[in-house]
Amino acid sequence: MSQRLRLATLVVVLIVCALVVRLAWVQIVWGPELSVLAEQQRTRVYNDPARRGEITDHEGNQLAFTMQARSLTVSPILLRSELRQQQKLAMDVEGTSTGLSSEALDAELDEKVEGVMERMSTEIPRMIKDSGAESSKVDEKEILEKLHADTHYEVLVRNVDPDVAADIAREFHGVAADHQDIRQYPNGAIAQNIIGKVSMDGQGQFGFEASGDPLLSGVNGRSTEDVSATGQVIPGSLRDQVPAMDGNDVTLTLDLDLQTYVQQQLEQTKAEVLAQSASAVVLDVATGEVLAMANTDTIDPNGNLEKQLEEGKEFGNPSISHPFEPGSVAKIITAAAALEEGLTTPDEVLQVPGSIHMAGVDVKDAWDHGVVPYTTTGVFGKSSNVGTLMLADRLGEEKFAEYLEKFGMGQSTGIELPNESAGLLPSLEQWSGGTFANLPIGQGLSVTTLQMASIYQALANGGERIEPRIIDQVTTPEGEVLEQNEPERVQVVSPEIAKTTVDMFRSVVQSDPAGVQSGTGQEAAVEGYQIAGKTGTAQQVDPETGAYSMSDYWITFAGIAPADDPRFVVAIMMDDPERTGTAAPLFHNIASWLLDRDNIPTSSPMEGQLILQAGQ
């Protein structure tokens, strides 16, 4: 063998050995890493979002529901690369790339890719417009800018009909029709303080959407599939399929018609009396269920949120989160406690002076008077601070503190909503000079509108306080009704004393032409029905001085309708109205609307009048 042949053979052997070593290196050293990269490039993991549960009122009226839509998305960097590959392959097949320099070929490919993207930017809006959607929501220039973006993810158009989105995705390579849920609130601002809203990513953000998120949200599903370099699905590669578990549907105790009426009444009253705000709660006496819970300035989630927030609208729920001093409306606790302990009777005549020295301070009535023979009924019908403290003094501090606890003061109600305040009640150990002169007349403690309603619900319900509830029923996607925890119940006073107390507080709405036997809340009366309730006026604390203001007040009213066969409790708070008066007219409007709407039988006529002031 010649030297030249041996040299050629050696070269071939060396080349083969190099190739073998290279192949071994790729397979053994780089192989695992390249395999992982290849799998990452071809693997697609798809999420199947769970449907968020629907929220309805107790009659099945929709309060919140989810509408399915699609977002058209792309990966601009990947899209341009794949379009370039497609155009290069097409030119190779046609033979038009032969003979072109690399610079000329790049320019030709750039032009072709640009043409495809321009067609996408014009055709996508046209297809959406032809489907009946508003074309003003889709901007051709904006789409083209996003297709040129140096990013891996862009949303071209949101809220596209699923069928239209599927057509567009089939028409244009690289465009995905991503699942998108749109939460709908068909009643706008009505009950939004209770319902709340979800964030852009579908998580509960405010109200029941937040506190009920575990019930409503469900669990997303997922699946895995392989695709080719050109984005085509590889048959038979579908795996790891986990089906989505939709959220539960929740029926609330709310009455949408009543909620609407109460919100309208609150807004109207706020405007008339120039109050800072107002809130109202309506409870079902027998169950403690919330039929309405309304505030002024509730935001409309369908409107311009930023503008509404600037105008003072809010997502919050002051009915449970903003406590206030209730004033005389809380005197019913003193009344029920004194009756339960056998320390007085409705007809006992008390010689009530114009002022009283108690717990180290002097307390006067809201009007000047000498000694007046008020009955116990009259003490509360006339809203005498002095008479109330005379009865509280018989109870003593420790016994009175026990009843405050039984009525739920200083405790959250347990309502299934977020950000509930427990109010404020100083513990007995913290009572100082003047505390026992304030608490029995509704000063020195704070309650929410819901807590105030709960006090009256207990007395209207035979003395049994039931935790207020907002959830009526939870239903799974399969139609199974989930059992709910029973609300806690506390027997505050006996059924007999509860009835006696309610009957006694009918004096508040009593009218007497002579004025002697008239109560402080005559405007709350509803013709044909017996009504019991209590007015309240509480001084607000001046933030500058830390003392009670002589010009700023909380105006309250809580009442029971009908008093002889209790069905509803209505509690109202108005924050610092400029025009004086009571909340009694607003109670009248709400109670009369309810009684008429539900065809509640009229009450038996009262026999004579309740005696508020003896010796007349």
pLDDT tens digit string along 288-307?
999 999 999 999 998 888 89
Give φ, ψ of 434 to 5 degrees: 95, -20
- In the chain, where are the structural domains located? 46-252, 256-597
Between CA 515 and CA 34 the distance in angstroms is 96
- As to burial, measured by CB atoms within 10 angstroms (0-12 exposed, 13-18 middle, 19+ buried), residue 222 is middle
Between CA 549 and CA 128 the distance in angstroms is 61
pLDDT at 257 over 80: yes
Question: What pLDDT sits at residue 478?
Answer: 93
Tokens of 397: 């501090």
Position 599 confidence tier, pLDDT thresholds 50, 70, 90:
very high
Q: What percent of the chain has pLDDT over 70?
A: 92
Question: What pLDDT sits at residue 460?
Answer: 98
Residue with token string 């619900």: 457
Between CA 339 and CA 499 the distance in angstroms is 11
> Is 409 within 8 Å of 326 (Cβ atoms)?
no
pLDDT at 55 over 90: yes
Residue with token string 């508040």: 508
Which pLDDT tens digit goes with each residue over 377-413? 999 999 999 999 999 999 999 999 999 999 999 999 9
Position 10 confidence tier, pLDDT thresholds 50, 70, 90:
confident
Domains 46-252 and 256-597 in one fold: no
- Alpha helix segments (H runs only) across 396-448: 397-406, 435-438
Kindly report whether the peptide bond that precedes residue 562 is cis, defined as omega within 30 degrees of 0. Answer: yes
Between CA 447 and CA 330 the distance in angstroms is 10
pLDDT at 549 over 90: no
Residue with token string 């807590």: 451
Nearest 5 degrees, angle CA 245-CA 248-CA 250? 170
pLDDT at 225 over 80: no
Question: What pLDDT sits at residue 22?
Answer: 65
What average pLDDT does the segment 443-459 reach? 97
Full-model pTM: 0.82
Question: What pLDDT sits at residue 227?
Answer: 64
Say yes or no: domain 46-252 is CATH 1.10.510.10: no
3-class state of residue 83 by DSSP: helix
Question: What pLDDT sits at residue 562?
Answer: 98
Which pLDDT tens digit goes with each residue over 17-32? 767 666 665 566 555 6
**Hey, what's the torsion of the CAs at 205, 211, 212, 214, to 10 degrees?**
90
Which pLDDT tens digit goes with each residue over 564-587? 999 999 999 999 999 888 899 999
Between CA 265 and CA 40 the distance in angstroms is 61
Question: What pLDDT sits at residue 573?
Answer: 97
Between CA 335 and CA 345 the distance in angstroms is 10
pLDDT at 39 over 60: no
CA dist list (Å): 338 to 329, 348, 394: 16, 12, 8
pLDDT at 263 over 90: yes
3-class state of residue 147 by DSSP: helix
Position 333 confidence tier, pLDDT thresholds 50, 70, 90:
very high
> Is 359 within 8 Å of 434 (Cβ atoms)?
yes
pLDDT at 72 over 90: no
CATH architecture for the domain at 256-597: 3-Layer(aba) Sandwich (3.40)
Q: Strands, E, within 544-614: which ranges?
A: 548-561, 568-575
CB atoms within 10 A of CB 232: 10
Between CA 59 and CA 228 the distance in angstroms is 52
Residue with token string 């927030």: 309
Question: What pLDDT sits at residue 136?
Answer: 42
pLDDT at 616 over 60: no
* Annotated catalytic residue within 121, 217, 328, 592: 328
pLDDT at 42 over 60: no
What average pLDDT does the segment 470-492 reach? 95
Give φ, ψ of 178 to 5 degrees: -75, 140
Between CA 254 and CA 361 the distance in angstroms is 45
Residue 328 is a catalytic residue = yes
